[in-house]
């Protein structure tokens, strides 16, 4: 999308050129300060003695000037457009705002605009086809909204669902039907990397929507605010109650759907196998990177979908082999000759890459060696993928690991010691992560909160 659609749009709409310039300047500024936009923000707005000739400051100021011009131009252009052209301009504007806000660590703004863009895309799609007719791979009307733009929003949706999705279980119930007929007719072997990725993205979106639907049967932590006490050490309000993090009373139909969605992922893996074997045979080729990344995403989907409706954290132990594979191929990618183009220090990728799967292993794999390996890979360099930062993710995983291993003798983590992350709030100005988890189950469960310092990128 970036190489073709946006550059073409920049030719037709001058205001979009300002966004492209702003992203280029911000990207350069991030690399100048070693991925530390936190440092960049502080140098711009807090430290009065920073010389104005400082390259990062000048780049940041230049970027924000063009960002302002882009926003003003977008407002005027969209209001003067036809209904169909207005939708296209609004969607392009939205994706650009998400990117620029993410680059500045304005994650709240980025998520709000991402969710707004997803609503716009859903409204556009529903104008032309019904929910059961959405193929999940392309635009219903490519002459109005290009396939590339639709597919970019489909990848953005995965980022939103992996971070913070404000949509209701009712919304997810409707959306999980997307592309059902398409997957029934999935080819027996994929002909290209692009084809395999489109089908895998569809499978992952459907899986996340099923998980979002079952969220209606999980407890709402906010609803427990009635009985609380203040923890003076962390300045948090601590709920006083018995906790469970597991779904309760999930209808049988959801378990049946879970099995069907798992079968779709297995069928995808079978169709993907010839391509995967070729990548392993030519592991240092640049094309092996997206192929191994898809393998990792499929494995991560297997783990998350298979554990979503379980009754115990012990369920993660049965996915030891999948965790092992995720970490094996992640290490290969981080050491790949071309890996720095995707996962290099100072880089920001707007799509889901390695951080989310490594985070899954860091939080949920209780094999001590594998868990520490996931943390080691996250801390091997500092890079970002959408809302996820490798350093901040490692800090969260380390804290949860320490919580679980406290008071445990031996290598096995028993159920009473296992914890589930329930909340994370990043305070970028103070470089602090506020973390909450529940350790144990039933009457003996405890609610634990802490503040963790984050000196690098989050």
What are the pLDDT tens digits along the chain (458 aa)?
556 777 777 777 888 999 999 998 988 887 766 544 444 344 443 333 444 347 777 888 899 999 999 999 988 877 655 667 788 889 999 999 999 999 888 888 999 999 999 999 988 888 887 655 668 999 988 988 999 999 999 999 998 888 878 888 888 888 888 899 999 999 999 999 999 999 999 999 999 999 988 876 665 444 333 444 444 443 444 333 333 445 566 788 888 999 999 999 999 999 999 999 999 999 999 999 999 999 999 999 999 999 988 889 999 999 999 999 999 999 999 999 999 888 887 778 888 999 999 999 999 999 999 999 999 999 999 888 988 889 999 999 999 999 999 999 999 999 999 999 998 888 877 788 899 999 998 888 999 999 998 754 55
Q: What is the pTM of this model?
A: 0.87
Does residue 99 sit within a domain?
Answer: yes
Read off the tokens for 271.
Answer: 């169709």
Does residue 371 sit within a domain?
Answer: no
d(CA 385, CA 351): 6
Find out whether 278 and 247 touch, Cβ atoms under 8 Å: no
Residues 6+ apart with CB under 8 A from 147: 138, 139
Does residue 90 sit within a domain?
Answer: yes
Length of the chain: 458
CB atoms near residue 443 (< 10 Å): 7
Does residue 3 sit within a domain?
Answer: yes
3-state SS track over the chain:
CCCCHHHHHHHHCHHHHHHHHHHHHHHHHHHHCCCCHHHHHHHHHCCCCCCCCCHHHHHHHHHHHHHHHHHHHHHHHHHCCCHHHHHHHHHHHHHHHHHHHHHCCCHHHHHHHHHHHHHHHHHHHHHHCCHHHCCCCCCCCCCCCCHHHHHHHHHHHHHHHHHCCCCCHHHHHHHCCCCHHHHHCCCCCCCCHHHHHHHHHHHHHHHHHHHHHHHHHCCCHHHHCCCEEEECCCCEEEECCCECCCCCCCCHHHHHHHHHHHHHHHHHHHHHHHHHHHHHHCCCCCCHHHHHHHHHHHHHHHHHHHHCCCCCHHHHHHHHHHHHHHHHHHHHHHCCCCCHHHHCCCCEECCCCCHHHHHHHHHHCCCHHHHHHHHHHHCCCCCEECCEEHHHHHHHHHHHHHHHHCCCCCCCCCHHHCEEEEEEEEECCCCEEEEEEEECCECCCEEEEEEEECCCCC
Question: Kind of pairing, strands 384-385 and 388-389?
Answer: antiparallel
Q: What does the pLDDT read at residue 218?
A: 60
Does residue 96 sit within a domain?
Answer: yes
d(CA 427, CA 421): 17
Q: Which residue range is the domain that position 81 belongs to? A: 1-164
Does residue 8 sit within a domain?
Answer: yes
For helices 288-307 and 320-334, the axis angle rounded to 10 degrees is: 150
Q: What does the pLDDT read at residue 82?
A: 61
Does residue 195 sit within a domain?
Answer: no
Q: How many domains does the chain have?
A: 1
Does residue 336 sit within a domain?
Answer: no
């Amino acid at each position: 999308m970036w190489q073709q659609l946006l550059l073409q749009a920049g030719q037709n709409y001058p205001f979009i050129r300002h966004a492209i310039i702003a992203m280029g300047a911000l990207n350069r500024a991030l690399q100048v300060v070693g991925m530390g936009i936190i440092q960049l923000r502080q140098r711009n707005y807090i430290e009065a003695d920073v010389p104005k000739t400082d390259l990062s400051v000048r780049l940041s100021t230049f970027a924000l000037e063009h960002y302002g011009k882009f926003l003003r131009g977008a407002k005027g252009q969209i209001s003067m457009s036809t209904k169909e052209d207005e939708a296209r301009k609004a969607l392009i504007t939205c994706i650009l705002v998400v990117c620029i806000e993410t680059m500045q660590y304005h994650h709240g703004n980025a998520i709000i605009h991402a969710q707004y863009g997803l609503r716009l895309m859903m409204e556009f799609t529903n104008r032309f086809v019904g929910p059961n007719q959405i193929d999940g791979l392309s635009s219903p009307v490519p002459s109005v909204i290009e396939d590339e733009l639709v597919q970019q929003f489909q990848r953005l949706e995965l980022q939103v669902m992996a971070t913070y999705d404000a949509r209701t279980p009712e919304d997810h119930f409707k959306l999980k039907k997307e592309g059902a007929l398409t997957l029934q007719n999935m080819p027996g072997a994929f002909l290209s990397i692009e084809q395999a990725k489109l089908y895998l993205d569809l499978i992952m979106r459907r899986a996340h929507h099923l998980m979002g639907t079952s969220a209606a049967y999980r407890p709402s932590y906010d609803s427990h605010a009635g009985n609380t006490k203040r923890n003076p050490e962390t300045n948090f309000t601590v709920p006083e109650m018995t906790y469970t993090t597991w779904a309760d009373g999930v209808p049988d139909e959801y378990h049946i759907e879970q099995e069907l969605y798992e079968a779709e992922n297995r069928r995808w893996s079978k169709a993907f196998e010839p391509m995967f074997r070729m990548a392993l045979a030519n592991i240092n080729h640049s094309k092996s990177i997206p192929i191994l990344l898809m393998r990792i995403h499929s494995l991560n989907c297997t783990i998350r979908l298979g554990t979503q409706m379980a009754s115990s954290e012990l369920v993660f132990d049965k996915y030891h082999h999948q965790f092992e594979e995720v970490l094996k191929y992640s290490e290969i990618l981080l050491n790949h000759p071309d890996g720095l183009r995707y996962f290099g220090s100072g880089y920001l990728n707007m799509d889901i890459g390695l951080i989310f799967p490594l985070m899954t292993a860091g939080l949920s794999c209780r094999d001590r060696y594998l868990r520490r390996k996931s943390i080691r890979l996250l801390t091997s360099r500092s890079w970002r993928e959408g809302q996820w930062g490798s350093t901040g993710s490692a800090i969260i995983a380390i804290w949860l690991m320490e919580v679980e291993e406290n008071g445990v003798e031996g290598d096995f983590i028993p159920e009473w010691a296992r914890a589930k992350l329930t909340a994370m709030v990043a305070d970028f100005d103070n470089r602090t992560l506020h973390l909450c988890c529940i350790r144990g189950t039933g009457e003996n469960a405890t609610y634990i909160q802490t503040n963790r310092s984050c000196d690098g990128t989050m």
